Structure 1
Amino acid sequence: PVSGIEDLKNVATIASGSIEMGRIIAQAADKVGDTGSTVVEESQTLIDEIEFTEGLTIDRGYISPYFVKDQERQVAELVNPKILVTDAKIDDVNDIVPLLEQLVKTKDPLLIIAEDVTGEALSALVVNKMRGVLDVVAIKAPGFGNRRREYTQDIAIATGASFVAEELGITLDSVTIDMLGTADRIVVGKEQTTIVTDGKQQEAIDARIAQLRREEETAETDYDADKCRERVASLGGGIARIKVGAATETELKDKKLRYEDALNSVQSARELGIVPGGGACLAHLQITLKEKIMDAMETEDERQGALIMIKAMAYPAMQVAENAGIEGAVVLAKIQNLCEEKGFGYGWDAGSMEYCDLMERGIIDPAKVTINAIENSASVAGLVLTTECLVTEIPIQMSEEDKQRMFDQQNMAAGMGPGIS
């Protein structure tokens, strides 16, 4: 398991390829804990900074992918948006037309949190989004049944929104802009929404948390108490905002992607723990689990398939060595000998060209990444076996004469004249 901020830093450093990025991500992840969120933003400066703000995370993403603006990251971002919070199911566009008309005039972005948004209402929102008439995103409210109502009320309090419910005498067609909540920024992904609050409702949030703690103390079942604790964590978890600075647009884009990749690695490490990196984990498992794996196979076909997988487990460690200009088979044999002599965790450090305790040196991988590598490779191999074909590009063999002709054409196009043979 991940034992502290140092493990988080090591995971993030390896994933991002930068010690400084690893430090910033570890600081952010350690500060907000398991209940908070970390978001990556662009900065107008040349340096990377980290800022902690209040906010909450909802385990629901956009209802339709057509709400996505950033196709590469597959997220929709709303800056200084208004927020509609309701327990109703919205399917009739006429219910929300009065509100949408007000927002078109003010040009405020809108996040809709509802039981669901379907039919004509969803179509109208998507069309207006794609035409640039209104910057809007819709998500489903978290939870189910009575729990959904409680969660949506928490969100309404945290954002300063009026909770729209018919039993409270508030219908959708009567909602005005003044009844909507506000936030500093919202990031909506496929499966998660992060709301960075603007700090205006902190007193109301603190009062709500105090109320939930009292409910936890008087809860009749452990389940109810757990749900109260979960809601407290959601309201008080906080948000870490990593502001990425760069000199050029290309550098900024690259750094943001590296930060996000490292954040995913840290999350994976928190879920299932860490293992030695550099392919050492699979190299160790190849020799320790071979007999157990083979004994579990019932047919000859299964045994042959298992042998293929067992053989493949050696290649990551060998490839790391080959990339560093060292004979892969030699490094693999040494790693496996060290594991047998000293135990799990020893391997080869390609940076210093040394054999060492990788866990102690901080050369680690999230266990989830290693598991996914095995599962995905087995899936692809199975697909190749069943389809019995592969698609590949055939390299073009060019003669020296053809190469010279292409070179001359490129020079002529650039206005440089033909090359000298």
Structure 2
Amino acid sequence: MYNTAYLNQQFVQHFQVAPTCIASSPGRINLIGEHTDYNEGFVFPAAIDRYIYVALSAREDNEIHIFSAAYNTYFKTTLLPETSETAPEWAKYILGVVQLINGKKSIKSGINLFLDGDIPLGAGLSSSAALTCATGFGINALFQLGLSRLEIVQIGQQTEHRYIGVNCGIMDQFASVMGKENQAFVLDCKDLSYRYFELQWPEYEILLLNSNVKHNLASSAYNKRRKACEQGVAWVKEKYPEVNTLRDINLQQLDDIVRPLSEDIFIKCRFVIQENLRVQQASDAIQRKDITQFGRLLYEAHWGLSKDYEVSCAELDFLVHFVQGLPEVAGARMMGGGFGGCTINIIKKGSSTALIDKITTAYFDRFGKSPSPIQVKLSNGTSLLEY
């Protein structure tokens, strides 16, 4: 449990007043369904017990003052129509949320914000989504603006689009805000309907292995993959005007229309369609408590991400290949946007210590660095903390 007394103390130290509220928003994992959310597909995320914390108080002027414990940096600006050009990257997430909320509800004063957390940055656990959602939730509570949870989710996504330059889907923010303890949910990114599934695996637990390869989606090939999907849709739409996203396209249409024009774009689009099917199969496996089939789908998803969608890297492939076939591991895959971050591993309880030792030795021998194990439990979504 996070030490809210420490956060309160730090807030007073930096702003000379006590916080009015503290918002907490979790990171997320995604069991399966990668690069499907921005194609109006299906995803299977869950919130985890790692959080970003944002403490807030209103100011008497119109200035925004932010201190980040992670970066040990203080930044201030005025409540402007747009974010400051001089703002560090981490502060743009906060300022983007402030401006989007201000455009909807009119914030009446400046704000003090203190940021802390225990989500590893750059690990593919959506620390940025947790940051924007905690900020939005906190501002909503601070000024009693009446924003719904869905509005806070959408503000978080719009912040990434408009102020960070990442055309992300809605999954990360949705999972952070809507998570439930011990449950994951299948989210339909087309109509935002969702269904919770309790993970009834008494003999298994979730182990994340951080490759410690740092990535930044804005500077990676993320946007290129999205454009490839959009191009494939555009070609099919010329013949089938009712088509709007890959969700509306079947494999036969893809083979007939896209493949002759670009083998590479065909392969990228095919992966997304197949991944949507895997999400449905995975939810069926969970309902049947078929851990073997669920694990098989994870491996299948990983090698599709690696070979077809080409968003993996040598370190992630090594981590998955190493555990594939081990009796104590039901399944594993890379997780997140790609080019680094974590693998998710479904492992037998009690096996983690020996497994981590084996993997760490082999990984260090190959890459000269160690992976970081992160054992997680599924948690509730964004909330206000009592302190």
TM interval, shorter chain, is: under 0.3
Name the structure with the higher helix share: 1
Query: TM-score, structure 2 length as denominator?
Result: 0.25
Larger Rg: 1
Higher relative contact order (CA 8 A, sep 6+): 2
